[in-house]
Amino acid sequence: MRWSTAVSALAVAASTSAQLVTKLSGSGWTLRNENGSISVPASVPSQQYLDLYKAHAIGDPLYGLNNTDQAWVPIQNWTYTSHALTGLQVTNLLSSTYLVFQGLDTFAHITLCNETVGNTNNMFRQYIFDVSSILRSCGHTTPQLSINFGSAVNITHRLSGEPDADPDANFADSCNPNSSEFSCKPYARKQQNDFGWDWSPALVPAGPWRDIYAVQMIPGQVHVDNALVDIYRKGQQNNLSPDQNQPWVFNASLDFVGSLPRVAVGMSLSLTDSNGRHVLTQSLGGISKNNETITGSTSISSSSVKLWWPNGMGAQTLYTAKITLTGLLGIPITSITRTVGFRTIVLNMSPVSSSELAQGVAPGAHWQFEVNGQPFYAKGANFIPPDAFWPRVNSTQVGQLFDLAQASHMNMFRVWSSGAYLPDWMYDMADEKGILLWSEFQFSDAEYPNATSYLNNYEAEAYYNTRRINHHPSLALWAGGNELEAIILFYFFSADAPGTLQKKYEQIFLEVLPKCVYANTKSISYIPSSTYHGWLKLDFDSVMPQVPRYLNTTGPDAIYANTDAYNYDANSMFDITSYPIGRFAAEFGFISMPSSLTWSTAAPPDQMFYPSQTVINHNRHTPFGASGDQDQLSLAGIQDMTAAVQKHLPVPAKKDAGANFTAWCWTTQVVHADDMVHQIAFYRRGSGMKEKQMGALYWMFNDLWAAPTWSAVESTNRQKVLYYAARDIFSPVIVNAYYNTSGGTSDLQVWVTSDLFTSISATVSYSWVNYAGEAITVGTQSSGSSSVDVGAIHSTHVTDLHVSDLNSALSGSSVDAKDALLQLSVSAKSGGTTYTHSAVFHPATLAEAKLRDPGLALTKPTGNSGKGSKYTFTVSAPNAVAAWVWLDVATNAVTGYWSDNGFWLKKGESRSVVFTVWEDWSKGKWVAGVTAISIWDNTLP
């Protein structure tokens, strides 16, 4: 847009808050490589791959082998040049001009009118440059903006050889000059999985990945470029449980460019609810300001507002907070709005109390989240970047992921580092859906340089993002990074003589980053690492506010840490004695293939077999620490899936190659789901065991390309079997069988677990049957029911169903373990709601089981569908028990999700399931292609 001088003057005279904001994002840009041999139209926000692909200069980077064939792209420098910036004003009235870059990835040199504006080296920071003098010097030349992005691969290798770099500091991810994989990622403040991960390609994109705009103002005006809102209970301190009887404190701090009037500046708060109704207006007191920030606070009575609760615990009550700066005579200078919620959220790591010890809780410390003073069981998964390229991530795609999470009883995502800090609109979605976001600073699986320039960069990054995100009630935690303490403890730790790497870790993650959090907020807890043994003491006046516990325990029975564990051994899968005992499970997982339909979006038809060259190329899961030929390493990783299928399920052997590939993909998903359900149930049972285990976040929820990974949802947002299996085992009240075969034992126990905030009385029903669905007797048990009481967030052993030696019971009853099933169900009422759940236990693997044809029958609805339509299908098993019943939508022409899938059916049982449509390009024709299968179908040719 262009203003004439007359219009400009009128606008400024009409409002003291007038300023001209010119959006520089959009089309009209040009992308060139360093020697000019490639020049294509471009847009902002973007990255070089996206504009090259749009211009047909390259193929889809995520298709086939393109991710490796295009290795020339990230080793070149790329320049984005704007169109003529005719919207920028050069007048005496608009005397100040600032360029605001919301995100530049990563090593950028910026020029305006061929004059240097500045250089950047951090993808995660907002950069603001005063270009007033440069713009005036343009004269009659139309301004043009140019941003040169250096190759992060080349630059990080160069940085790794500089004097302030430690060549021994790159744990796991080496600086191999002959490989771009991982490159020297610790030397770039850039999304670390851009350099490759065991679920991600090594693309190393570059470009203006977030918006760019210009701000022009008259003297005495300010532009707010960031704002902190911190809502906490009076007297609250980070990492400590606050007094819920205290009033709320509302603290607002606005960062700005420009200059405030020299007169006294006031601050006020206006609060409205989600219906637009006025709640309160209050002045903020204790105002302090400098040339960049103004801060004030006020107290709000608890009775004036309603609490915000996570999904499944209460309402997600949100308010709009308008913060206004006023000058002389109360005339507004500027204002900003933020959506806020009133809640407290604390990661309680305090010592286990004497009363808890008396109740059987193991000594040590807690590892539990508490919202509004209420401990709760965290149910969820780890969230990774939803696309390899952030500029094309959109609200439809992410909204579907949050809908899936909300529908599956989840209340938390761990936003894994090192991807990128999520944009505000994603936190907005989490606020609305009640999904807490355990957030992390972008450091992962490496030791990071600690030269002063790096520390300053880390601090600016953390300070900006801490302030930007803090107003969201979904923000649950700040962690320093991924698995950092675990690396120190395993490889570098010394209690008496800490080495260089341990000292670097402590300086960055126990001094610099907590300072940034604690200086800005009292409402959020901080831990230095996703894996953490907790603190010995807190001292908020110390340079190191948390004294880490490390391995300092009170005894061999004490439990302090959370867990992060993986097992790819098919022979020990489902062994409950192999699972770690801890207070919280932050990561655990297994891998599976995406569906053949998702593969079809990323692989040529001749590559749709197992394992094709595309499958081998896209698989990045390899044996830990192994080196050698990449294809052979990939095949070794794929063997983890293959061995698990061969050990535990019937192996598909279809005559048709396409059908066999589809069956293989699905079968890997079944063993993946079964493994995760087994682990989640074990961890959830821990809420009533000595470890008082209070969270299970599986790895991982989503995916960014078609590949064998740990995800529950594929890159197309099509759901794997794991999604539905985890949805089921995350039900508020569950029943499950736990079978211990270690040391030659065969102990079978049945437990009921509840994560409700109140005690319940439950009825457990059971029946032993064979796969034909016929009743059998095992020991003294055939069928019946048992009543149990379960405490709040607790587990109860159903002692009536305990079989201490199942092998003897089976043989004594002349029952073949390969033809025996225990069918379980539970029903409980609480607060007017009835909770039900069912489970199946089979002592022999399904690979050994004497499966029968269940004769699945599927009844399909009719009619055309549109966005939001719901279709009800009914599936039944008239002939025998059906294991892992799967309703499959056989086309990419429709997207959506099922109310239930991947379940067992008793003989004669029918179940109705609903498919909710997101998009339908088939005009309802997809319904005819829906099929129902079970694991029995793997036995068919």
The model's pLDDT over 806-844, given as tens digits with 9 standing for 90+, comes to: 999 999 999 999 999 999 999 999 999 999 999 999 999
* Contact by Cβ (8 Å): 104, 123: yes
Show the tokens assigned to 519: 């200086």
Catalytic residues, by residue number, are 483
- pLDDT, residue 15, reads 36
What is the b/e burial string over 827-861, where b = at least 16 CB atoms within 10 angstroms of the residue's CB? bbebeeeebebbbbbbbebbbbbebbebebeeeeb
Using a pLDDT cut of 90, give the percent of the chain over it: 90
pLDDT (average), residues 710-736? 98
Where do runs of H (alpha helix) occur along 301-433? 354-358, 395-407, 424-433
- pLDDT, residue 263, reads 86
Residues belonging to the chain: 941
Beta bridge partners of 437: 413, 475
pLDDT (average), residues 183-207? 94
pLDDT (average), residues 445-474? 96
pLDDT in tens, 865-898: 678 899 999 999 999 999 999 999 999 999 999 9
pLDDT in tens, 28-54: 999 999 999 999 999 999 999 999 999
The answer to whether the pTM exceeds 0.85 is yes
The amino acid that residue 30 corresponds to is: T
Name the helix (H) or strand (E) containing 518: helix 513-518
**How confident is residue 230, by pLDDT bands cut at 50, 70 and 90?**
very high
3-state SS class at 71: coil
pLDDT value at 174 more than 70? no
- Strand positions, DSSP E, 653-770: 695-698, 733-740, 747-754, 760-769
The amino acid that residue 531 corresponds to is: T
pLDDT value at 520 more than 50? yes
* Contact by Cβ (8 Å): 721, 825: no
pLDDT in tens, 763-813: 999 999 999 999 999 999 999 999 999 999 999 999 999 999 999 999 999
CA pair distance 14, 496, nearest whole angstrom: 68
Using a pLDDT cut of 70, give the percent of the chain over it: 96
CA pair distance 451, 168, nearest whole angstrom: 15
Mind spelling out the 3-state secondary structure of 381-412? EEECCCCCCHHHCCHHHHHHHHHHHHHCCCCE
CA pair distance 712, 707, nearest whole angstrom: 12
Chain centroid, CA 887 distance in Å: 27
Chain centroid, CA 586 distance in Å: 12
- pLDDT, residue 262, reads 85
